């Protein structure tokens, strides 16, 4: 039997990437499902999928571990998802201004191994009325000014979209996908009662979306 070609994929982000909230079974987390789906559809490859998501990480905190958790793995692909924890009103020192976020994204690109390709995933919708910060009276005035938690996250999503466009990185827009799917099937189908983390159905949508992007990229390599 011929040896399979190794393909290493790193998921780099926060709790959406890590996917442990409400998912005690590792096999049901989206990166694990993605590995199985890729293995079933691309028999010539041996897929190594590394979960480098850490819940609660801002972009600054994630990039502080970039060398160890991403670059050192010498990945063929990175699935990059963060930006949702950049505005922590309870901990002002953790707040990542938008200009710093742009700098961190550039640092990410510059630190990548030459062979590594990136897929951008946008942060999912935040349901303001369910999120702990949305219920906190201390933050009411701030979110009235910004239009809410989800609106506060949107500039970071838009920055990642623009970063992807400038660098030719494919984007799976999880935010837009879940907004659309939520209108059809009810937003609580995809979002947990905490207002941000994904249900099993939400994880499935994320898996399917990233798989489609990777499938096209792998086929381009084969062609």
| Alpha carbon distance 31, 51 (integer Å) | 7
Question: For 110-159, how does the pLDDT look when each residue is reduced to its tens digit (9 = 90+)?
Answer: 999 999 999 999 999 999 999 999 999 999 999 999 999 999 999 999 99
Burial class (CB in 10 A: 0-12, 13-18, 19+), 7: buried
Among 11, 13, 19, 10, which residue's Cα sits nearest to residue 201? 19
22: left (phi over 0), alpha (psi -120 to 50) or beta: left
Indicate the domain borders of the chain. 5-222
| Helix, strand, or coil (residue 121) | strand
Dump pLDDT digits (tens) for 163-185.
999 999 999 999 999 999 988 88
Radius of gyration of the chain from Cα atoms? Answer: 17
Per residue in 32-62, pLDDT tens? 999 999 999 999 999 999 999 999 999 999 9
Q: What is the CATH number of domain 5-222?
A: 3.40.50.1110
Tokens 């630190």, located at residue:
111
Whole-angstrom distance, CA of residue 181 vs CA of residue 124: 12
Residue 23 vs residues 2, 123, 185, 186, 200: alpha-carbon distances, Å: 36, 18, 21, 21, 8
pTM for the predicted model, two decimal places? 0.95
Q: Say how many C-beta atoms besides its own lie within 10 A of residue 128's C-beta.
A: 17
Cα dihedral 169, 175, 177, 182 in deg (nearest 10): 170
pLDDT at 220: 84
**Residue found by looking up tokens 């946008």 in the block:** 122
pLDDT at 1: 40
Q: Does the pLDDT at position 2 exceed 70?
A: no
Closest CA to 160 of 47, 217, 78: 78
Q: Tens of pLDDT along 92-112?
A: 999 999 999 999 999 999 999
């Amino acid at each position: 039997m011929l040896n399979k070609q190794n393909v290493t994929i790193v998921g780099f982000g926060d709790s959406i990437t890590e996917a442990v909230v409400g998912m005690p079974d590792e096999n049901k987390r989206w990166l694990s499902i993605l590995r199985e789906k890729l293995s079933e559809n691309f028999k010539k490859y041996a897929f190594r999928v590394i979960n480098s998501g850490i819940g609660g990480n801002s972009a600054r905190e994630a990039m502080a571990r970039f060398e160890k958790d991403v670059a050192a793995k010498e990945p063929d692909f990175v699935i990059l998802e963060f930006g949702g924890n950049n505005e922590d009103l309870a901990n002002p020192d953790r707040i990542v201004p938008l200009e710093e976020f742009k700098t961190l994204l550039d640092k990410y690109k510059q630190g990548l191994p030459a062979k590594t390709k990136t897929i951008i995933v946008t942060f999912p919708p935040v349901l303001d009325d369910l999120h702990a910060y949305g219920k906190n009276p201390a933050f009411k005035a701030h979110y009235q000014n910004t239009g809410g938690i989800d609106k506060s996250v949107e500039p970071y999503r838009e920055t990642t979209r623009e970063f992807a466009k400038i660098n030719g990185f494919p984007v799976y827009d999880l935010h837009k996908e879940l907004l659309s799917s939520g209108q059809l099937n009810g937003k609580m189908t995809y979002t947990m009662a905490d207002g941000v983390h994904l249900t099993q159905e939400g994880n499935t949508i994320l898996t399917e979306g990233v798989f489609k992007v990777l499938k096209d990229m792998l086929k381009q390599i084969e062609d």
